[in-house]
Amino acid sequence: MNIRYRVELNEGERAHLTAMLSGGRHAVRKLKRAQIPLAADAGISDAVIAGSVSVGGSTVYRTKQRFVEGNLDLALSEEARPGAARKLSGKETALLVATVCSSPPEGRERWTLELLAGVMVGLTEHDGLSRETVRRRLAEDDLKPCSERCGAFRKWMAPTSLAWRMCSTSMPKKPIPGSRWFASTKARHS
């Protein structure tokens, strides 16, 4: 059964929505949801609202439904989006960071993401763990490649290609040969 929701705004709600639309910084989705109750209160049909606000008819229906059954804040907010639960809990993430900061296994110079995933499967009750999950959790804790906080990744290596070149037009005055900012096309040999 298709239920038709009738939106009736009071003066406070109408003023709040008008102020939201007239200025300030808000998410586009929230602004579109703010236009829907105003248009519905004016008696405009759902199809016309959907076309003028550039949303689907179901968005208009759900926004009106949340306003009538709940309140204005509920109508303007988004519902939680579905998604998979985190694979690693907080304690398991702490264990991962501790493992990364420890020395690598015998015969290894450094930790790799695959090696860390394998060790975490052994230390936790997970059947499997992808390298991408390990990478995301390490990135959250700001452990990135070239990070010197732990021995998880290789230290910075000098480039094997030509040295960086600089354009003399981007420098304030003419470069002096041998100075720090001298531009050269020759490879640096160290």
**Is 33 within the bounds of a domain?**
yes
Averaged pLDDT in 10-residue chunks for the chain of 190 residues: 80 92 89 93 92 93 92 86 84 88 86 90 90 89 55 44 41 52 52
Q: What is the pTM of this model?
A: 0.48
Identify whether 117 is part of a domain.
yes
Considering the domain architecture, whether residues 16 and 44 belong to the same structural domain is answered as yes
Residues 100 and 136 in one domain: yes
Give the count of domains, the chain: 2
Together in a domain, 95 and 64? no
The pLDDT, as a whole number, for residue 177 is 57
**Is there a single domain that holds both residue 99 and residue 55?**
no
Q: Is residue 2 situated within a structural domain?
A: no
Pairwise CA distance, residues 93 & 87, whole Å: 10
The predicted structure's pLDDT at residue 151: 47
H-run or E-run covering 52: helix 46-53
What is the C-alpha end-to-end distance of the chain, expressed in Å? 78
User: What pLDDT does residue 169 have?
Assistant: 43
Could you list the residue range(s) of the whole structural domain that residue 128 is in? 90-140
Q: Which of 56, 14, 65, 5 is nearest to 35 (CA)?
A: 14
* Any domain includes 102: yes
Residue type, 137: R
The C-alpha atoms of residue 49 and residue 47 are separated, in whole angstroms, by: 5
Is the domain of 26 the same as that of 49? yes
Distance CA 69, CA 38 (A): 17
Q: Are 83 and 55 in contact (CB under 8 A)?
A: no
Residue 190 resides in a domain? no
Q: Is 31 exposed, middle or buried (0-12, 13-18, 19+ CB in 10 A)?
A: middle
DSSP 64-76: HHHHHHS-HHHHH
